[in-house]
Amino acid sequence: MPRVIIVHGWDGYPEEGWFPWLKRELEKKGFEVQVPAMPNPAEPKIETWVPHLAKIVGEPDEDLFLVGHSIGCQTILRYLESLHADKKIGGAVLVAGFFKLILGTNEEEETAKPWLETPIDFGKVKSHSNNFTAVFSDNDPFVSLENKKLFEENLGAKTIVLSNKGHFSGGMDKCFELPIALESVLELTQYGKQ
């Protein structure tokens, strides 16, 4: 049975925004879906988020698909980078992911700095899956479209740009359903090709 783990973002939580909707829609199609609460979401740290995701995943395999939002995307990529050489997953859908961020406050910069400055070995990441879909919005206040090119170059990701979705956040952007995330997961799992 294919399983999906949805990794929320900075200051996020499992019931936020489009996560419950995506979980329900995938469960209707027979997926096993988890939306774990990540540790201390107000101050996400690589050294706590990546091991937490690893613990939730348990044994990765090609029936595993990861969906991330914002810093959740970074978490997924860093998790993949940490896997043993022979491990592979089915793929990942990365919504509002970033390698560069538009930040407002010093506090934000402090939290984001390790995520932005700790290099990722993309060769290692791609050795565990070559199925990446990255979704962006043309008016995201935090993630510029410069990231689209970086996801294409670094991961060979299929990229999609939607109009006026902001940061795909529940409260701020009133984003409570995200059909493109569902379509992208189904496409990755080959269900969409039947």
What are the tokens at 131?
A: 């199925």
User: Which one, of 27, 49, 54, 28, lies nearest residue 39 by Cα?
Assistant: 49
* Average pLDDT, rounded, for the chain: 95
Structure confidence by residue, pLDDT tens digits, 16-59: 999 999 999 999 999 999 999 999 999 999 999 999 999 999 99
Structure confidence by residue, pLDDT tens digits, 50-98: 999 999 999 999 999 999 999 999 999 999 999 998 999 999 999 999 9
Angle between helical axes of 71-82 and 46-57 (0-180°, round to 10)? 70
- Strands (DSSP E) contained in 10-107 are 32-34, 64-69, 91-95
Domains located in the chain, CATH noted: 3-193 (3.40.50.1820)
For position 193, what pLDDT does the model report? 43
By three-state DSSP, how is residue 170 classified? Answer: helix
- Strands (DSSP E) contained in 17-176 are 32-34, 64-69, 91-95, 132-137, 158-162
Whether 26 contacts 91, CB under 8 Å: no
For position 191, what pLDDT does the model report? 52
